[in-house]
């Protein structure tokens, strides 16, 4: 059970800010989580499909698609940041 968070435009387009997902047994990466989400179709396909732009953090640290994801991890997806 990993916690997945969505922020800003991604949260709005997906209609969800936080969920927990059951990862199937085995090892996982950000890329496999993204494939799992994309398979939901609809906005998930467009938000995470080819050409989509997103950033990811695992446990509050910026990560890349190859990063491993374990149960109890907090994975956050968001657009490029625009603070200040």
Partner 1 sequence: MAHVRIQAHPFDAGAEIAALTQGRRDVGAVATFVGVVRDRNEGASVGRMTLEHYPGMTEKALLEICGQAAQRWDLIDLRVVHRVGPMEPGEPIVLVAVSSAHRGDAFAACEFVMDFLKTRAPFWKREDTPSGPRWVDARVSDDEAAARWAPPNR
Binding-site ranges for partner 1 (CB under 8 A): 5, 7-9, 12, 57, 60-62, 76, 78-84
Which residue bears the tokens 């991604």?
10
Looking at the Cβ atoms of 9 and 70, the one nearer to partner 1 is 9
| CA–CA dist 30, 76 (Å, integer) | 10
Query: Pairing between strand 2-6 and 74-78?
Result: parallel
* 32: Cβ contacts below 8 Å, ≥ 6 apart: 69
Q: Which is nearer to partner 1, 26 or 60 (CB)?
A: 60
Nearer Cβ to partner 1, position 9 or 39? 9
Q: How far is the CB of 66 from partner 1 (least distance, A)?
A: 13
């Amino acid at each position: 059970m990993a916690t997945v968070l969505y922020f800003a435009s991604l949260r709005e387009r997906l209609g969800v800010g936080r969920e927990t997902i059951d990862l199937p047994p085995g090892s996982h990466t950000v890329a496999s989580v993204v494939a799992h989400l994309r398979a939901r179709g609809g906005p998930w396909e467009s938000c995470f499909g080819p050409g989509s732009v997103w950033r990811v953090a695992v446990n509050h640290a910026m990560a890349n698609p190859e990063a491993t994801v374990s149960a109890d991890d907090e994975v956050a997806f968001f657009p490029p940041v625009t603070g200040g």
